[in-house]
Amino acid sequence: MNTKAVTKRNRISVSIEVESEGPNGEWAQSVQDLTKAQLQKLQALIRAELSKQENLTLVGANDPKTHLHVSVVTAQVAHQGYSNLVIVSSVLTLANDREHGNNDVLATHDVIAGPDLLSVAHTVGFQVASSMPHLMNRILGYVRDVD
């Protein structure tokens, strides 16, 4: 086993995609899509939260190497007497490269509600940070298998 891969400071590549629930949601869902500007702002806020984590490197969603992928689907729902609540479904997967079978592995899934874009972005950042110990072991396992 190559201990160099284990002992050096490891950074995990992470990509992110943010999209609306869309008009094809269930008829019973009483949600509104975020505007394009809100989607862009949410993605920028999540990227900023992830950039604060020193063990992460942001990459594009189509990065061919094994990396963590954060997929966020979002909408807003009216909250009587208050501003709309922002709802996100956030899925973290380990997107594997060809060498590891191109099989994505579900790491965790959360549904998050908050009063504004910043609060849900912060919670998505926490979701990623709290998943890191498990994911580091998983990724380091792949490094050891390759070496």
**C-alpha pair distances (Å), 117 with each of 102, 126, 142:** 32, 14, 35
- Any domain includes 4: no
- Any domain includes 2: no
- Any domain includes 95: yes
- Any domain includes 122: yes
Q: pLDDT tens across 77-132, in order? A: 877 777 888 999 999 887 776 665 566 777 788 999 999 999 999 999 999 988 87
Domain count, the chain: 1
**71: nearest Cα among 116, 110, 100:** 110
- Any domain includes 79: yes
- Any domain includes 33: yes
Q: Residue 102: how many CA atoms within 13 Å on its side-chain side?
A: 3
- Any domain includes 23: yes
Q: pLDDT tens across 23-69, in order? A: 655 555 678 888 999 999 999 999 999 999 888 889 988 887 877 88
Query: For 96, phi and psi rounded to 5 degrees?
Result: -85, 150
- Domain residues for the domain of 82 are 10-146
Q: Residue 12: how many CA atoms within 13 Å on its side-chain side?
A: 27
Cα Rg, the chain, nearest whole Å: 17
CATH code where residue 21 lies: 3.40.50
